Amino acid sequence: MKLFSSVLLLASLADRTYATKKSSGKKDPLANRNSSKEVCQRFENGEVVHKSKNTKCKCFASFKKEMDPETGLKKCTGERTKLFDQKKLAVTGETIAEAKLKRANTPGGASMCAAATGEGREVDCSGARMDGQRAKKIIVPAKTKKLSYENNHLDSLHPQWFEGLPELKALNIKNNFIQKLNPHLFKNNRNLEEIDLSQNQILKLDKSAVFKKNRNVKTLKLNNNRIVEMKMKILTALPNLEHFEIQHNRLNRINGKMLKVATELKHFDASFNNIASISTQAFRSSKKDETVNLQNNLISQLNKQVFSGLVGCKFLNLSYNNCKLAQGYLPTNGFSYKTRSQPQQDQRHRQWTIQEASKLEGY
């Protein structure tokens, strides 16, 4: 009996060893940062540059080595466009519209990416039924300016997927299953202007470094997540932010430092949260903010100066809260204001002028 058990154990170990060797034979193009080899490139002055003198160093996944005519050495300066030739992963076209049309007419195209090969590099993998394992195989070319993974099954994002994309301007990860954001996720994407992480399962933004290198971001969408906590310094790295959506989450407070640096903000939506209080300093720097939506929260009290910074506001929505407003609580410029329904008449969609709103005792 013991002999039979020993034979079974040896056979099991042999199978595991064979499986390990077989799996290790497959190269993972995104394993650069996990290997012991040095990475050739660094991000400097808005560009990814080859810095290492080690000839055995590895490039970012989106780059490939090519001969430098001046030094005669191989450097990571070439764009890796292998995705354009992978017919099982992508359908290509000169423009993204052309590529999408081809994808629609290709058998099995629904599970492929559409890739524009022209100057307006764009990769659209929306609705491709993609999970993390399949996403690893998508090596996005280095000159890509727009990238979409919308409507997929991703539950995590890896820095290696984006580190070699210095020209990326728009990133769409809408409607996936993301719960956490790696603090180094976008550190090499200094030209990003639009980030859409809406309709995911993000619980909190407690890593202040996550947008630290993305000063050019103008639009940030975090709506329809499960965000309870948002670190005060998250938005301090985004001085050019103009459009910020965080509605349909679970925030309970707007602190004074959340929007302090966002002096260019024009649209702010934090409706449908659990916000019970707003710091007096919250909108002090929001002089260009044109629309503020705080409807359907738990606001019961407001400091008299809370909206004093909204000198450019044209529309303020405080409907479906429990707070009372009196004259002096609103900015003195003319703007529209949404109020809660009154007993006699449904006025939820009525837009009040500042003169009318200032006469309200409560709602």
DSSP states of 54-82 as a string? -TT-B--TTEEEEE-TTT--EEEEEE--G
The reply to whether 220 falls in a domain is no
Which residue range(s) make up the domain with 57?
30-80
Cα separation, 354 vs 326, in Å, equals 11
| pLDDT given for residue 337 in this prediction | 56
CB 254 within 8 A of CB 282: yes
Report pLDDT digits (tens) over 196-225.
999 999 998 877 678 999 999 999 999 999
Flag whether 156 is in a domain.
no
Give pLDDT, residue 335: 54
Q: pLDDT (tens digit, 9 = 90+) per residue, 161-170?
A: 999 999 999 9
Please count the other Cβ atoms lying within 10 Å of the Cβ belonging to residue 214. Answer: 22
Q: What is the pLDDT of residue 28?
A: 47
In a domain, residue 199? The reply is no
pLDDT at 38 (0 to 100): 84
* pLDDT value for 3: 46
Tens digits of residue pLDDT in 327-363: 555 555 555 555 554 333 334 444 444 444 444 444 3
- Rounded to whole angstroms, what are the CA distances from 328 to 205, 336, 339? 34, 16, 17
Q: Please indicate whether residue 161 or residue 37 has the higher confidence score (pLDDT).
A: 161
Give me the pLDDT at residue 72, please: 83
Tally the domains of the chain: 1
247-253: average pLDDT: 95
Asked if the structure places residue 69 within a domain, the reply is yes
Amino acid identity of 158?
Answer: H
Strand, coil or helix: what is 101?
helix
Percent pLDDT > 70 in the chain is 79
pLDDT at 99: 95
Instruction: Name the residue among 320, 321, 325, 322 with its Cα closest to residue 349.
Output: 320
Q: What is the pTM for the complete model shown?
A: 0.82
Q: Is residue 48 in some structural domain?
A: yes
The whole-number pLDDT of residue 107 equals 93
Residue 100 within a domain: no
Residue 320, in any domain of the structure: no
Lowest mean pLDDT among 7-11, 251-255, 311-315: 7-11
H-state helical runs in the chain: 2-24, 96-104, 132-135, 354-357
Q: pLDDT of 41-97, one tens digit each?
A: 887 777 788 888 888 889 898 999 898 888 888 888 889 998 888 888 999 999 999
Specify the pLDDT at position 200: 97
Residue 306 within a domain:
no
12 — pLDDT class (breaks 50, 70, 90): low
